[in-house]
Amino acid sequence: MPELPEVETIRRQLAPQLIGATLTRVEILDPRWTRPVDPKPVSKALTGAVVVSLDRAGKYLIWGLDGDRQLLMHLRMSGALLWSPVPEPIHTRVRFSLDSGQRVCFTDPRRFGTGQLFGSRIDLDAHLAARLGPEPLTPAFSAAVLARRARGRSAPVKAFILDQREIAGVGNIYADESLFRARIHPLTPVGALSASRWKALATAIEAALALGIDAKGASIDDFRHVDGQRGSFQDSFLVYGRTGQPCPVCGTPISKLVVGGRGTHICERCQRRPRRLRR
Protein backbone atom coordinates (compact mmCIF):
# COMPACT_ATOMS: atom_id res chain seq x y z
CA MET A 1 0.00 0.00 0.00
CA PRO A 2 1.33 3.46 -0.83
CA GLU A 3 2.42 5.14 2.41
CA LEU A 4 3.20 8.76 3.24
CA PRO A 5 6.34 9.01 1.02
CA GLU A 6 4.62 7.43 -1.97
CA VAL A 7 1.55 9.67 -1.75
CA GLU A 8 3.74 12.73 -1.21
CA THR A 9 5.71 11.77 -4.32
CA ILE A 10 2.50 11.60 -6.35
CA ARG A 11 1.38 14.95 -4.93
CA ARG A 12 4.64 16.67 -5.89
CA GLN A 13 4.58 15.23 -9.38
CA LEU A 14 0.94 16.08 -10.11
CA ALA A 15 0.65 19.49 -8.44
CA PRO A 16 2.39 21.52 -11.19
CA GLN A 17 0.17 19.87 -13.80
CA LEU A 18 -3.14 19.99 -11.95
CA ILE A 19 -3.22 23.29 -10.07
CA GLY A 20 -5.15 25.78 -12.19
CA ALA A 21 -6.52 23.08 -14.52
CA THR A 22 -10.22 22.60 -15.21
CA LEU A 23 -11.73 19.11 -15.08
CA THR A 24 -13.63 19.08 -18.37
CA ARG A 25 -14.90 15.54 -17.87
CA VAL A 26 -14.72 13.04 -15.01
CA GLU A 27 -15.65 9.44 -15.84
CA ILE A 28 -16.12 7.15 -12.86
CA LEU A 29 -15.83 3.74 -14.49
CA ASP A 30 -16.10 1.70 -11.29
CA PRO A 31 -18.96 2.57 -8.88
CA ARG A 32 -17.02 1.05 -6.00
CA TRP A 33 -14.79 4.15 -6.02
CA THR A 34 -17.52 6.31 -4.45
CA ARG A 35 -19.43 3.60 -2.55
CA PRO A 36 -21.92 4.00 -0.87
CA VAL A 37 -22.51 7.25 -2.79
CA ASP A 38 -23.92 7.03 -6.33
CA PRO A 39 -21.04 7.90 -8.72
CA LYS A 40 -23.24 9.87 -11.15
CA PRO A 41 -23.79 12.99 -8.98
CA VAL A 42 -20.12 12.90 -7.95
CA SER A 43 -19.04 12.84 -11.60
CA LYS A 44 -21.42 15.68 -12.39
CA ALA A 45 -20.16 17.78 -9.46
CA LEU A 46 -16.52 17.28 -10.44
CA THR A 47 -17.02 18.09 -14.12
CA GLY A 48 -16.16 21.73 -14.70
CA ALA A 49 -14.35 22.13 -11.39
CA VAL A 50 -11.06 24.04 -11.22
CA VAL A 51 -8.23 22.48 -9.20
CA VAL A 52 -6.88 25.16 -6.83
CA SER A 53 -4.62 23.01 -4.63
CA LEU A 54 -3.24 19.52 -4.20
CA ASP A 55 -2.50 18.52 -0.61
CA ARG A 56 -1.85 15.38 1.40
CA ALA A 57 -2.85 14.17 4.88
CA GLY A 58 -1.27 10.89 5.97
CA LYS A 59 -1.91 8.48 3.10
CA TYR A 60 -4.72 10.61 1.64
CA LEU A 61 -4.44 12.87 -1.41
CA ILE A 62 -6.63 15.98 -1.30
CA TRP A 63 -7.76 17.81 -4.44
CA GLY A 64 -8.85 21.33 -3.44
CA LEU A 65 -11.47 22.56 -5.91
CA ASP A 66 -13.08 25.93 -6.54
CA GLY A 67 -16.00 26.71 -4.25
CA ASP A 68 -14.05 25.21 -1.30
CA ARG A 69 -14.99 21.67 -2.37
CA GLN A 70 -12.52 18.92 -1.53
CA LEU A 71 -11.95 15.55 -3.23
CA LEU A 72 -10.37 13.07 -0.84
CA MET A 73 -8.60 10.13 -2.50
CA HIS A 74 -7.15 7.03 -0.87
CA LEU A 75 -5.05 4.80 -3.14
CA ARG A 76 -5.33 1.80 -0.79
CA MET A 77 -3.56 -1.44 -1.79
CA SER A 78 -2.89 -1.04 -5.49
CA GLY A 79 -4.07 2.38 -6.61
CA ALA A 80 -1.97 4.64 -8.84
CA LEU A 81 -2.48 7.98 -10.56
CA LEU A 82 -0.97 8.11 -14.06
CA TRP A 83 -0.49 11.13 -16.30
CA SER A 84 -1.92 10.57 -19.80
CA PRO A 85 -0.79 6.91 -20.00
CA VAL A 86 -0.45 5.30 -23.42
CA PRO A 87 -1.90 2.76 -23.70
CA GLU A 88 -4.40 3.31 -20.93
CA PRO A 89 -4.24 0.50 -18.33
CA ILE A 90 -7.09 -2.00 -18.37
CA HIS A 91 -7.62 -1.43 -14.64
CA THR A 92 -8.49 2.28 -15.02
CA ARG A 93 -11.30 3.08 -12.56
CA VAL A 94 -11.56 6.87 -12.93
CA ARG A 95 -10.56 9.15 -15.82
CA PHE A 96 -10.04 12.88 -15.23
CA SER A 97 -9.91 14.85 -18.50
CA LEU A 98 -8.34 18.33 -18.34
CA ASP A 99 -8.77 21.49 -20.37
CA SER A 100 -5.17 21.08 -21.56
CA GLY A 101 -6.17 17.94 -23.43
CA GLN A 102 -4.25 15.78 -20.97
CA ARG A 103 -5.83 13.35 -18.53
CA VAL A 104 -5.15 11.68 -15.20
CA CYS A 105 -6.12 8.03 -14.85
CA PHE A 106 -6.72 6.34 -11.53
CA THR A 107 -5.83 2.68 -11.94
CA ASP A 108 -6.53 0.11 -9.25
CA PRO A 109 -6.34 -3.64 -10.00
CA ARG A 110 -7.64 -4.63 -6.55
CA ARG A 111 -10.42 -2.01 -6.54
CA PHE A 112 -9.98 -0.90 -2.93
CA GLY A 113 -9.20 2.77 -3.68
CA THR A 114 -11.81 5.37 -2.77
CA GLY A 115 -12.90 8.89 -3.68
CA GLN A 116 -15.05 11.10 -1.46
CA LEU A 117 -16.27 14.63 -2.21
CA PHE A 118 -16.71 17.15 0.62
CA GLY A 119 -18.55 20.44 0.41
CA SER A 120 -15.97 22.42 2.39
CA ARG A 121 -12.50 22.21 3.94
CA ILE A 122 -14.10 22.41 7.39
CA ASP A 123 -16.10 19.24 6.69
CA LEU A 124 -13.01 17.50 5.37
CA ASP A 125 -10.85 18.50 8.34
CA ALA A 126 -13.47 17.16 10.75
CA HIS A 127 -13.53 13.87 8.84
CA LEU A 128 -9.72 13.55 8.96
CA ALA A 129 -9.43 14.61 12.61
CA ALA A 130 -11.51 11.59 13.62
CA ARG A 131 -9.27 9.23 11.64
CA LEU A 132 -5.70 10.49 11.75
CA GLY A 133 -3.20 11.04 14.54
CA PRO A 134 -0.28 13.49 14.42
CA GLU A 135 1.69 13.42 11.19
CA PRO A 136 5.48 12.97 11.15
CA LEU A 137 7.56 15.80 9.72
CA THR A 138 5.14 18.37 11.18
CA PRO A 139 5.23 20.34 14.47
CA ALA A 140 2.37 18.19 15.82
CA PHE A 141 4.64 15.13 15.92
CA SER A 142 7.08 14.55 18.79
CA ALA A 143 8.33 11.89 21.20
CA ALA A 144 6.38 13.51 24.04
CA VAL A 145 3.13 13.44 22.05
CA LEU A 146 3.60 9.76 21.18
CA ALA A 147 4.47 8.80 24.76
CA ARG A 148 1.35 10.54 26.03
CA ARG A 149 -0.87 8.75 23.52
CA ALA A 150 0.66 5.37 24.41
CA ARG A 151 0.63 5.72 28.19
CA GLY A 152 -0.83 2.69 29.98
CA ARG A 153 -1.31 0.62 26.84
CA SER A 154 -0.02 -2.91 26.30
CA ALA A 155 -0.34 -3.26 22.52
CA PRO A 156 2.86 -4.08 20.59
CA VAL A 157 4.68 -0.96 19.51
CA LYS A 158 4.43 -1.94 15.85
CA ALA A 159 0.63 -2.18 16.07
CA PHE A 160 0.63 1.31 17.60
CA ILE A 161 2.76 2.71 14.78
CA LEU A 162 0.49 1.20 12.13
CA ASP A 163 -2.69 2.59 13.71
CA GLN A 164 -3.48 5.66 11.60
CA ARG A 165 -5.41 7.15 14.52
CA GLU A 166 -2.14 7.30 16.44
CA ILE A 167 0.39 8.19 13.72
CA ALA A 168 -0.69 9.33 10.26
CA GLY A 169 0.94 7.95 7.15
CA VAL A 170 3.14 5.09 8.40
CA GLY A 171 2.56 1.61 6.98
CA ASN A 172 4.30 -1.74 7.14
CA ILE A 173 7.48 -0.84 5.25
CA TYR A 174 8.32 2.31 7.17
CA ALA A 175 7.29 0.79 10.52
CA ASP A 176 9.85 -2.03 10.10
CA GLU A 177 12.56 0.36 8.92
CA SER A 178 11.86 2.78 11.79
CA LEU A 179 11.87 0.14 14.53
CA PHE A 180 15.16 -1.23 13.28
CA ARG A 181 16.72 2.23 13.23
CA ALA A 182 15.53 2.80 16.80
CA ARG A 183 16.71 -0.70 17.91
CA ILE A 184 13.27 -1.53 19.29
CA HIS A 185 11.66 -4.96 19.03
CA PRO A 186 8.22 -4.68 17.37
CA LEU A 187 6.54 -6.78 20.11
CA THR A 188 7.61 -4.40 22.88
CA PRO A 189 4.52 -3.18 24.79
CA VAL A 190 4.06 0.40 23.66
CA GLY A 191 3.31 1.65 27.15
CA ALA A 192 6.64 0.31 28.42
CA LEU A 193 8.88 2.50 26.22
CA SER A 194 11.03 4.98 28.11
CA ALA A 195 11.32 8.64 27.17
CA SER A 196 14.71 8.02 25.56
CA ARG A 197 13.33 5.20 23.43
CA TRP A 198 10.40 7.32 22.35
CA LYS A 199 12.85 9.99 21.27
CA ALA A 200 14.83 7.42 19.29
CA LEU A 201 11.67 6.05 17.67
CA ALA A 202 10.22 9.45 16.74
CA THR A 203 13.55 10.40 15.18
CA ALA A 204 13.75 7.07 13.34
CA ILE A 205 10.22 7.38 11.93
CA GLU A 206 10.92 10.82 10.52
CA ALA A 207 14.30 9.73 9.15
CA ALA A 208 12.83 6.69 7.35
CA LEU A 209 9.99 8.74 5.87
CA ALA A 210 12.32 11.53 4.76
CA LEU A 211 14.58 9.01 3.02
CA GLY A 212 11.54 7.46 1.35
CA ILE A 213 10.45 10.86 0.04
CA ASP A 214 13.96 11.61 -1.22
CA ALA A 215 13.94 8.26 -3.09
CA LYS A 216 10.48 9.06 -4.52
CA GLY A 217 8.89 6.13 -2.73
CA ALA A 218 9.32 2.38 -2.72
CA SER A 219 8.10 0.22 -5.62
CA ILE A 220 7.84 -3.40 -4.49
CA ASP A 221 4.38 -4.17 -5.90
CA ASP A 222 2.03 -1.78 -7.67
CA PHE A 223 3.32 1.68 -6.76
CA ARG A 224 4.42 3.78 -9.72
CA HIS A 225 5.14 7.45 -10.35
CA VAL A 226 2.69 9.42 -12.49
CA ASP A 227 4.83 8.65 -15.55
CA GLY A 228 4.84 4.93 -14.75
CA GLN A 229 8.40 4.85 -13.39
CA ARG A 230 9.36 3.10 -10.16
CA GLY A 231 10.49 4.62 -6.88
CA SER A 232 13.91 3.55 -5.56
CA PHE A 233 13.63 3.36 -1.77
CA GLN A 234 13.43 -0.46 -1.98
CA ASP A 235 17.11 -0.39 -2.94
CA SER A 236 17.95 1.07 0.48
CA PHE A 237 15.86 -1.14 2.79
CA LEU A 238 17.71 -2.11 5.96
CA VAL A 239 15.39 -4.96 7.03
CA TYR A 240 12.09 -4.91 5.14
CA GLY A 241 11.87 -7.80 2.67
CA ARG A 242 15.41 -8.97 3.51
CA THR A 243 14.58 -12.22 5.34
CA GLY A 244 17.70 -14.39 5.63
CA GLN A 245 20.05 -11.65 4.47
CA PRO A 246 22.68 -10.24 6.87
CA CYS A 247 21.80 -7.35 9.13
CA PRO A 248 23.61 -4.24 7.84
CA VAL A 249 24.84 -3.51 11.38
CA CYS A 250 25.81 -6.84 12.96
CA GLY A 251 25.54 -9.45 10.20
CA THR A 252 22.87 -11.56 11.93
CA PRO A 253 20.38 -12.97 9.39
CA ILE A 254 17.20 -10.90 9.20
CA SER A 255 14.21 -12.86 10.48
CA LYS A 256 10.49 -12.52 9.87
CA LEU A 257 7.62 -12.82 12.31
CA VAL A 258 3.99 -11.75 12.43
CA VAL A 259 2.88 -8.80 14.55
CA GLY A 260 -0.75 -7.78 14.51
CA GLY A 261 -1.33 -9.88 11.41
CA ARG A 262 1.44 -8.14 9.45
CA GLY A 263 4.69 -9.68 8.23
CA THR A 264 7.48 -8.04 10.21
CA HIS A 265 11.22 -7.99 9.49
CA ILE A 266 13.77 -7.61 12.30
CA CYS A 267 17.29 -8.30 13.47
CA GLU A 268 16.91 -10.34 16.66
CA ARG A 269 20.32 -9.20 17.84
CA CYS A 270 19.96 -5.45 17.27
CA GLN A 271 16.32 -5.44 18.34
CA ARG A 272 16.29 -7.39 21.59
CA ARG A 273 13.03 -9.02 22.63
CA PRO A 274 11.46 -7.76 25.86
CA ARG A 275 12.47 -10.08 28.75
CA ARG A 276 8.98 -11.50 29.25
CA LEU A 277 8.88 -12.55 25.56
CA ARG A 278 12.33 -14.09 25.21
CA ARG A 279 11.13 -17.66 25.65
List active site positions.
2-3, 59, 262
Q: Which residues in the chain are classed under CATH 3.20.190.10?
A: 4-129
Architecture of domain 143-277: Orthogonal Bundle (1.10)
Is the pLDDT higher at 219 or at 143?
Answer: 143
Q: Residue 64: beta bridge partners?
A: 53, 70
Query: 187-209 burial by CB neighbour count: b if 16+ within 10 A, else e?
Result: bbbbeebeeebbbbbbebbbbbb
Q: Assess whether pLDDT exceeds 80 at residue 143.
A: yes
* Listed residue (163, 130, 152, 149) closest to 261, CA to CA: 163
Q: Which residues in the chain are classed under CATH 1.10.8.50?
A: 143-277
- The band of 125, judged by pLDDT with boundaries at 50, 70 and 90, is very high
Q: How far apart are CA 274 and CA 199, in angstroms?
A: 18
> What's the CATH number for 4-129?
3.20.190.10
Average pLDDT over residues 31-42: 97
pLDDT in tens, 69-84: 999 999 998 999 999 9
- The band of 278, judged by pLDDT with boundaries at 50, 70 and 90, is low
What is the residue-averaged pLDDT of the chain? Answer: 95
pLDDT in tens, 84-120: 999 999 999 999 999 999 999 999 999 999 999 999 9
Question: What end-to-end distance do the CA atoms of the chain give, in Å?
Answer: 33
Q: How far apart are CA 100 and CA 273, in angstroms?
A: 56
pLDDT at 276: 67
Q: How far apart are CA 61 and CA 254, in angstroms?
A: 34
pLDDT in tens, 9-26: 999 999 999 999 999 999
Residues 6+ apart with CB under 8 A from 73: 60, 61, 62, 63, 79, 81, 106, 113, 114, 115
